[in-house]
């Protein structure tokens, strides 16, 4: 597998079909990296891309890989040093918000074209909560998981997700459906094109999408306010701990 870091110029789309139809699109960029070997950037560009262990899993282990291995160990999965590919937003000027981080996890002797042993989907909400889902995708990259985290204020914590998470190549193509009784009221997609992670590309994307993750967080809140003003009822939220122990 190609373990070189990469940048993806992305379009993120959300489509709600119930209780009211609503759609949005947002442009940003994401990193695909090996958390054991994060990209080395010139000193002047380091504020544009920092990968901090505090932003993932329980946030109290010395590295992202240590957090991942601890999570997997709780679920009986051992990588034995196998490679991991992580798709995520990096901290930009000290700030990050990651609605979804994905980890494709491989065994120590994985063939370059092998299926991953598993995929971990780490979901963050705007209230500071986070939850990880352990996925075992089929050959098409599709897996299902029971919803465990309050994400949108307009949906309760019920139903489940159908995620299509094939390993990124020259293209990035992710789809997450929320499935509830009676249908799929929400679908999110991420579509992107791979870019070489050189300083010129990073600087160009950062200038095109300044404060990229702050913009994502602000956009989620802005559209939430619009939906509320259009009469969508808010579902009660029960406080959740900032942990990632449970998964389906």
Which pair of structure tokens corresponds to residue 228? 């509320």
Global pTM exceeds 0.85: yes
Q: Report, as an integer, the average pLDDT of 143-149.
A: 95
Task: Answer yes or no: are the C-beta atoms of 32 and 86 closer than 8 Å.
Answer: yes
* pLDDT on residue 146: 96
* pLDDT on residue 112: 59
| Residue 24, CA distances (Å) to 11, 15, 57, 216 in order | 10, 7, 28, 12
pLDDT tens-digit series, residues 34-61: 999 999 899 999 999 999 999 999 999 9
* pLDDT on residue 246: 36
Which pair of structure tokens corresponds to residue 52? 């901090």
User: Which of the residue ranges 8-17, 129-138, 145-154, 212-221 would you say has the lowest mean pLDDT?
Assistant: 212-221
Q: Report, as an integer, the average pLDDT of 152-165.
A: 91
pLDDT category of residue 243 using cuts at 50, 70 and 90: very low
Task: Tell which residue, 100, 65, 109, 60, has the closest CA to residue 192.
Answer: 100
pLDDT tens-digit series, residues 88-128: 999 999 999 999 999 999 998 767 578 899 999 999 998 88
Burial 158-197 (b: 16+ CB within 10 A, else e): ebbbbbbbbbbeeebebbbbbbeeeeebbbbbbebebbeb
pLDDT tens-digit series, residues 121-144: 999 998 889 999 999 999 999 999
User: Which of the residue ranges 4-18, 88-102, 188-202, 210-224 would you say has the lowest mean pLDDT?
Assistant: 210-224
Higher per-residue pLDDT: 230 or 69: 69
Task: Answer yes or no: are the C-beta atoms of 14 and 23 closer than 8 Å.
Answer: yes
* Alpha carbons 193 and 136: distance in angstroms, whole number: 25
Task: Return the residue matching tokens 């089929």.
Answer: 138
User: Which of the residue ranges 129-133, 148-152, 223-227 would you say has the lowest mean pLDDT?
Assistant: 223-227
* pLDDT on residue 239: 61
Higher per-residue pLDDT: 226 or 179: 179
| Residue 29, CA distances (Å) to 36, 124, 159, 198 in order | 21, 17, 29, 14
Task: Answer yes or no: are the C-beta atoms of 41 and 48 closer than 8 Å.
Answer: yes
Task: Answer yes or no: are the C-beta atoms of 82 and 73 closer than 8 Å.
Answer: no
* pLDDT on residue 194: 97
pLDDT tens-digit series, residues 159-193: 999 999 999 999 999 999 999 998 999 999 999 99
Task: Tell which residue, 79, 57, 52, has the closest CA to residue 67.
Answer: 57
* pLDDT on residue 21: 87
Is the pLDDT reported for residue 245 higher than 80? no
Task: Answer yes or no: are the C-beta atoms of 123 and 103 closer than 8 Å.
Answer: no
Is the pLDDT reported for residue 240 higher than 70? no
């Amino acid at each position: 597998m190609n373990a070189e870091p990469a940048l993806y110029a992305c379009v993120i789309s959300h489509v709600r079909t119930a209780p009211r139809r609503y759609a949005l699109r947002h442009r940003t960029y994401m990193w695909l990296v090996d958390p054991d070997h994060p990209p080395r950037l010139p000193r002047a560009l380091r504020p544009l891309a920092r990968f901090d262990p505090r932003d993932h899993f329980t946030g109290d282990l010395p590295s992202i890989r240590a957090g991942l291995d601890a999570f997997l160990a709780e679920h009986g999965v051992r990588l034995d040093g196998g490679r991991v590919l992580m798709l995520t937003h990096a901290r930009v000027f000290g700030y990050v918000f990651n609605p979804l981080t994905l980890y494709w996890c491989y065994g120590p002797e994985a063939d370059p074209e092998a299926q991953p042993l598993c995929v971990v989907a780490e979901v963050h909400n705007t209230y500071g909560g986070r939850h990880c889902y352990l996925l075992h995708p089929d050959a098409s990259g599709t897996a299902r998981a029971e919803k465990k985290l309050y994400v949108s204020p307009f949906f309760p914590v019920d139903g489940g997700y159908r995620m299509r998470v094939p390993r990124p190549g020259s293209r990035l193509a992710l789809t997450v459906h929320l499935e509830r009784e009676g249908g799929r009221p929400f679908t999110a997609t991420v579509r992107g094109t791979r870019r070489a992670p050189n300083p010129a590309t990073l600087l160009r994307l950062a200038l095109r999408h300044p404060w990229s993750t702050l913009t994502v967080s602000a956009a989620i809140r802005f559209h939430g306010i619009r939906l509320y003003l259009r009469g969508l009822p808010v579902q009660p939220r029960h406080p959740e701990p900032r942990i990632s122990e449970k998964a389906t």
